[in-house]
Amino acid sequence: MRPRKGVPPVSATGDLNPAQLEAVEHRDGPLLVLAGPGSGKTRVITRRIARLIESGIYPSRILALTFTNKAAREMEERVAGLMPGSRVWVSTFHRFCAQLLRRYGQAVGLQPNFSILDSSDQGALIREVLSEQNIDSSHFSPGKLLGRISKSKSRLQSAEEFAREVLDGRQGNYFDQVVARVYQNYQDLLLRANSVDFDDLLCHVGRMLAENDEIRHDLGERYRYILVDEYQDTNFAQYQIVKMLAGSHRNLCVTGDPDQSIYGWRGAELGNILQFEQDFPETRVVRLERNYRSTKVICRAADALIVNNVRRKAKTLFTDNDEGARIESLFFDDQHLEGEGVSTVIRQIAQKEGRPWSDFAIFYRVNALSRPLELALGRHRIPYQVAAGLAFYERAEVKDLLAYFRLISNPADRLAFQRVVNTPVRGIGKTTVARLMDWADQQGIAPLDAARQADQFPGLTRRATLALGRFAEIINRLSMTPFAGVTPLFDELLKQTGYGTGLDKHDEADLQKLANIEELRNAAAQYDQEHAADPTLQGFLENSSLVADLDSVDEASGKVTLMTLHAAKGLEFPVVLIVAVEEGLLPHDRSLRSESPNEIEEERRLMFVGVTRARERLLLTRTWSRDMRGQRMLSAPSRFLEELNLSGRRDGERKSHDSLARHPPTGAGNDRNELPDPNVDDPAMAGNPVAIDEGGPEAIPSEAFVMKAVKPGRTARIPPEKQVSLPNEPVEAPVTVRPEDRAAASAALSRREREALEAKQRRQSKLGGIPNLTTGAALLGAGGTAESTSSNFRVGMTVRHPQLGVGSIVAASGEGKRQTVTVQFPDGSERSFLTQKSPLQPVGLR
C-alpha cells in the first residue's frame, strides 16, 4: 500500500537521516541496526512500526520487544502518537512470555492461574529445599545457588539436563553437584505450587516453542513482524525465542550496540548480535553513525574510554552538536561530602543555567550508594526520585497482601500460603506449618486444602487445627466473593483478615506501613480503572510481579533522578553526574578479582553507557575514603577516569606528572567552564570538592595529595579535616519534636540500640501505659485514643488482642478480678477472656 499523493508517510517527516530512513523503509526480511549511543536506534524502531502499520500491516501482527516496561510504554505511546488509533502491543520479553504461558502453559505443566514468584520467594523456596536436603545455607548461599540456576535456565536447560551435564560430563565441581540436586528439587516445588520464577517465564516458553511445532507455527503466523530493541542484551533463551518466532517469515528487525552490553552477568550473550548476520545471511545491515544526543566533548570522552576494550569492533561515531562544556571531575573527602558537593553543584548549575531539576540525573554503580546522596539532597531541599531496588513492592506489608491475593488466585501457591498463614499472627507456628506442609505434600493436595481438612490430620494440636480452619475459611470466603474488581476484594481482604489493625498511627514505622497499604489500594484502584473492561486478579498480580525499579521514574516529576548505571541504559538527561568513580566500585571489585578480562570490559561498557546518557554536561565524582558496610575504605580513582582522557591530552603526553600545574588554578579561567567554583569562600558550600580532579595517576589520593590539594589557589580554602564539621553544615532537622520525645536521645544510639529502646517503649505502652493504639476504626479514619485502664471493660467496647486482632465486646460478666468478657472478632469468631489475665486492651473509645 503506497501512501497517496500529498500525504507524506510517517517516515518522511524530515527528521530522519538517510541511514535511519533506510532502516525505517526496510520492510521484509531480517534487518540489523548496529549503532552507537544516541544515534537514534530507538527512534528507528518506533518509526518502523508506524511505517509498517501505515503500509497496511495489522498492528496485531507486529510484535515489539523491549527489556523494560518503561521502554515498552514509551514506544507504545510514540507509535500511538504517530499512528493515532492503532494500538500496537509493545511488551517486555518477560511480560510477553507470561501471557503466552497463560494461554499455552498446559504444554509445560502450568495452569493458567500460575503465580510469578519474586526474588524473596525464590530465596524462601531455595531455603526450604536446602533444609530439606540438610544443606547448610551458610556454606551454599541461596543467592549463589539461584544465580547458577538462573544462568542454567537462561540457557534453556532443564534441571535434568543440568544434572546430566554435571554428572555425566563430570565437568561440574562440587558446587555444581549441589546445584544439580537443589535445582531439581526447587523446580519440582515450583511446578507443584503452580508457580514460576522470572527465568522460567523465558525458559518455559523457549522449551515450549522448541518442543511444540504447532504452537511455534501458530505464533509464527500470528506475529509476522518482530522487532527487538537492545538486542545486545538478549540471553540464549530470548535469542532462541526470537529466532523460533521469526523462523518462518524472517521478518525480524533488531537494534543494538555491542558496546552497551551490560548484562553478561545474567546470561546475556554478546554473540547473539555479533552472529546475527550468520544466523540470517540475507540480513540487511544498517549502521547509524551520527550521534544526536551528546556534545562533542562527551562523545570524544566516551570513545576514548571504550577503545580500551580489546574485544571489540571499532565503530565510527560523530556528532554535529556543539563542543560543549568540559567534563568535570570532583574529589571529596568522603561520601557525605560527596553528597553535599553533588547537591551544591546541582543547585548551582540549576540556578546559573536556569535548568529544572528534572534535567539532572545521578548514576551510581551500586544501590547502596544512593543513601548519602538522598540525605544530602534532602538537606538541600532538592526534590529527587530514586529508581530504587527496594521500592514499594518489596515492603513486607505489600508482599503480605499480595500473597493473600496470590493464594486466592492460585491455591497451590505454597509460598504465598506460608507467608500469610500466620500474618497477622494467628497462633500458627513454624512447627505446625512444617507438619502441615509435609502432610499436604504426602497427600498431594494444596496447602490450603490441607488447612481446611486439618482436623483429619492427627499430628496437630487442637489449637492449631482450629486456627488453620479459621484461616482456610477466610481465604475461602474471599475466593467465593464475586469478583467485581481488585479494589473491592482488597477492602474485603483487610476486613476479613484484620490486616493492619494492630498498627499504631503514632509510630513512624507503622505510619509508613499504613501508607503503603493505602498505596497498594491506590495501585489496585488504578488497575481497575485502566482495565475497567476486564479486570482480573491475575492481571493485577502479573503487573505487580513484573514491575521494575525503573517504572517508578517519571520524567515529568520535576525532580532529580537517581538510579544505577544499569537502569540508565536507553535514557538520556541534559546533565549527568556519576558518583563513586573509584577502583573497586567502578570497575567493581568483583570484576577486578575475576581472571577473565570480559568482566572488566563489561564494567567499562557500563561506564560508557553512563557517560553517553549525558546530553550537555557530565560530572564525575569520587572520594578519598568511603564507608562500606560499616567499614572505612580508602578509595583510589577509577582507571576509567584516566581512560576518558578528560584533559584532552593526546596519547603521548598522557602520563605527565605536572598536570596539576598545567591547568590554571580553579576558578581562574574559562577552563573551568562555568562550573560551580569550589573555591568560592561561601560557607553555604559545605561539602565542596576538596579538589578538582584531573583524573590522572597523579591524582591518586594519598595523604600527600590531599595536603597539596588544599593549598590555596586550586582547592577549597577550608582544610578537609575541618570540612567535616563546618559550623553551618546543614544539620538534620529533627522532625516534630514532642516534649517527651526520646527520638532526640536515641539519635545518638546505634540502630540496634534505638530499635531496642523503641521496642521497650512499645511494650510499656502495651502494658497499660498510654494506649495510643490505632484501631480498625482509626484505620478507616475515625480513630481516637483510649483513656481507660485494662480493668474496666464494658459491652460495646472495642478491644485489641495481640494475636487475634481487634474485636468488640459483646458480653461481659463478673466484676474486678473475675470479670469475663466475650469478644467478637471480624471473622465472626467469638472468644471469652478473663480480663485480668488476658492481653486485651481497650482501644478507640468513642
Binds DNA by CB under 7 A, chosen from 366, 437, 636, 743: 366
Is 100 near DNA (CB under 7 A)?
A: no
Which of 54, 230, 528, 602 is labelled catalytic?
230
Instruction: Output the smallest distance, CB 753 to DNA, in A.
Output: 8
* 42 given a catalytic annotation: yes
Is 461 near DNA (CB under 7 A)?
A: yes
Instruction: Output the smallest distance, CB 464 to DNA, in A.
Output: 5
Q: DSSP letters along 302-316, please?
A: HHHHHTT-SSS----
Binds DNA by CB under 7 A, chosen from 55, 86, 99, 119: 119
Q: Which of 356/802 has CB closer to DNA?
A: 802
Instruction: Output the smallest distance, CB 681 to DNA, in A.
Output: 31
Instruction: Output the smallest distance, CB 576 to ligand ATP, in A.
Output: 12
Q: Within positions 465 to 524, which residues make up the interface with ligand ATP, using CB under 6 A? A: none
Instruction: Output the smallest distance, CB 144 to DNA, in A.
Output: 4
Binds ligand ATP by CB under 6 A, chosen from 225, 236, 292, 608: 292
User: If DSSP codes are grouped into helix, strand and coil, which group holds residue 496?
Assistant: helix
CB contact at 8 A, 65 and 226: yes
Q: Which one of DNA, ligand ATP, none interacts with residue 67, CB within 5 to 8 A by kind? A: DNA
C-alpha cell at 174: 562440587
Which of 121, 128, 229, 359 is labelled catalytic?
229
C-alpha cell at 103: 494461554
- Report whether the peptide linkage leading into residue 802 is cis, meaning its omega lies within 30 degrees of zero: no
Is 368 near DNA (CB under 7 A)?
A: yes
- From residue 377 to residue 416, the character string flagging contacts with DNA as x (rule: CB under 7 A) and all else as - is ------------xx--------------------------
* Radius of gyration (C-alpha) of the chain in whole angstroms: 30
Q: In angstroms, rounded to a whole number, what is the distance separating the alpha carbons of residues 413 and 624?
A: 49
Q: Within positions 4 to 23, which residues make up the interface with ligand ATP, using CB under 6 A? A: 15-17, 20
C-alpha cell at 144: 549463589
Which of 20, 41, 340, 626 is labelled catalytic?
41
Q: Which of 43/395 has CB closer to DNA?
A: 395
C-alpha cell at 229: 530493541
- Burial state string for 693-719 with b = 16 or more CB within 10 A and e = fewer than 16: bbbbbbbebeeebbeebbeeebbbebe
Q: What angle do CA 525, 530, 535 make, to 5 degrees?
A: 75
Instruction: Output the smallest distance, CB 572 to ligand ATP, in A.
Output: 6
Binds ligand ATP by CB under 6 A, chosen from 612, 666, 808, 841: 612
Q: In angstroms, rounded to a whole number, what is the distance separating the alpha carbons of residues 148 and 579?
A: 31
Residue type, 412: A
Binding residues for DNA, how many (CB under 7 A)? 64
Beta strands in 334-398 (DSSP E): 360-364, 384-386
Is 702 near ligand ATP (CB under 6 A)?
A: no
* 414 given a catalytic annotation: no
Q: Strand 820-824 relative to strand 830-834: parallel, antiparallel, unpaired?
A: antiparallel
* 521 given a catalytic annotation: no
Q: Which of 500, 521, 498, 497 lies closest to 509 in space, CA to CA?
A: 500
- From residue 570 to residue 609, the character string flagging contacts with DNA as x (rule: CB under 7 A) and all else as - is ------------------x-xx------------------
Binds DNA by CB under 7 A, chosen from 10, 24, 42, 93: 93
Contacting range for DNA; rule: CB under 7 A; set: 89-97, 175-183, 319-327, 448-456: 89-97
Which of 613, 622, 639, 714 is labelled catalytic?
613
* 229 given a catalytic annotation: yes
* 136 given a catalytic annotation: no
Q: DSSP letters along 639-687, please?
A: HHHHHTTTT---GGGTT-S-HHHHSPPTTSSGGGTT---TT---GGGTT
Beta strands in 36-168 (DSSP E): 62-66, 89-92, 115-116
- From residue 239 to residue 258, the character string flagging contacts with ligand ATP as x (rule: CB under 6 A) and all else as - is ------------------x-
C-alpha cell at 762: 512499645
Beta strands in 257-300 (DSSP E): 284-288
CB contact at 8 A, 225 and 88: no
Binds DNA by CB under 7 A, chosen from 286, 567, 690, 710: 567
Binds ligand ATP by CB under 6 A, chosen from 23, 24, 31, 35: 35
Q: What angle do CA 766, 771, 773 make, to 5 degrees?
A: 90
Instruction: Output the smallest distance, CB 602 to ligand ATP, in A.
Output: 16
Which residues neighbour 497 within 8 Å (Cβ) at sequence distance 6 or greater? 404, 424, 474, 826, 827
Binding residues for ligand ATP, how many (CB under 6 A)? 19
* 214 given a catalytic annotation: no
Is 555 near DNA (CB under 7 A)?
A: no
Listed as own residue / partner, the contacts of 720-726 with beta carbons closer than 8 Å and 24 or more positions apart are 720/333, 720/624, 720/690, 723/333, 723/337, 723/686, 723/687, 723/688, 723/690, 724/333, 724/334, 724/337, 726/683, 726/686
Chain residues in the site for DNA (CB under 7 A): 67-69, 92-95, 119-120, 123, 127, 137-138, 141-147, 150, 198-199, 265-266, 365-368, 389-390, 422, 425-432, 461, 464, 546, 548-550, 564, 566-567, 588, 590-591, 629-630, 751-752, 755-756, 759-760, 762-763, 802-803
Question: Which residues form the catalytic set?
Answer: 41-42, 229-230, 260, 613
